Amino acid sequence: MSWHDRIVVDSKIMVGKPVVRGTRLTVEFIIDLLAQGWNETDILDNYPSLSSQDVRACLHYAGELLREEKVFPIDSAQRPPGA
């Protein structure tokens, strides 16, 4: 499944944050619900406009974003005290 069919970015919707197509529910919001312990059934019961494919598309989108993330390790000797 491709998230491209279900996740859209439009500057006129939620200030351009990625949302589930046809809703104002952001990917960030769905991921946060999952992080708070909601399961897919909880989300679908509370947001009936969503489908299982929408929830999975949010996870795929987040996963792709993380795979593209650039990481620049910092030598621990260069970190300020307490960081």
**Chain centre distance of CA 50:** 14
Give 3-67's CATH code, choosing from 3.30.470.20, 3.40.1360.10, 1.10.10.10, 1.10.357.10: 1.10.10.10
Cα–Cα–Cα angle for 7, 5, 53, nearest 5°?
80
Neighbour-count burial of 3, counting CB atoms closer than 10 A to its CB (0-12 exposed, 13-18 middle, 19+ buried): buried
- What are the structural domain ranges in the chain? 3-67
pLDDT string in tens for the chain (83-residue length): 688 899 999 999 999 999 999 999 999 999 999 999 999 999 999 999 999 999 999 999 999 989 888 878 877 666 666 66
User: What is the pTM (predicted TM-score) of this model?
Assistant: 0.80
Distance CA 8, CA 49 (A): 16
